[in-house]
Amino acid sequence: MKPINKWAIVGLLLFVSACEYNLGPTTNINSTNTNTNTNTNNTDIHDLVNFAPVANPSAPLPVPGGGTEVPLPIPTGAQNTATTYATNNAALLARSCQDLYGESAWAFLDGMVKTLSATDPRWGYVVKSNTGTISRDVIAYRATSSNRGAWGVDVIVDHCGTSSSFAWNVLGLDANLQWSATRF
């Protein structure tokens, strides 16, 4: 007789509990179960797809037309400005999912960029390299003299999830990240 593999039994029990199977007697053998998939999650994974931050952001970056330049750092005080804006606009943040609220959902991100741009016009939007569309939850700080070479800052955590919230997550400086002053 072959010995019982305890890991196989543990795996079976985990599978059964994860699938919510009932191993007890059934009361209605002819029951019908229907599962309707309501998953419409188009989670923007913080635009890390094709995002390649440089290891040393103070090193010179190549610029179009030849040559290099040292990128600018994110301004001190920007995080405090963004935090104040987010605190004062919690209702806009709660309705910032474009999939649910349409065009009006841009109000939070547009206001964030406008508020930061009032202190430094280099604040703007991230243009996604794979689609050419504007990021829905990450903003950009243009670190070079061209529209490429920017810091990415994720400002909405769990965007279009169950509990969107403000954060200041500096994703890094990407020499190829495209920046835009407007999202139109």
Output the pLDDT for position 57: 72
Answer yes or no: is pLDDT of 26 > 50: no
Answer yes or no: is pLDDT of 145 > 90: no
φ, ψ of residue 112 to 5 degrees: the values are -60, -50
Output the pLDDT for position 128: 87
Q: Which of 52, 47, 53 is nearest to 131 (CA)?
A: 47
What is this structure's pTM?
Answer: 0.71
Answer yes or no: is pLDDT of 21 > 60: no
Output the pLDDT for position 131: 85
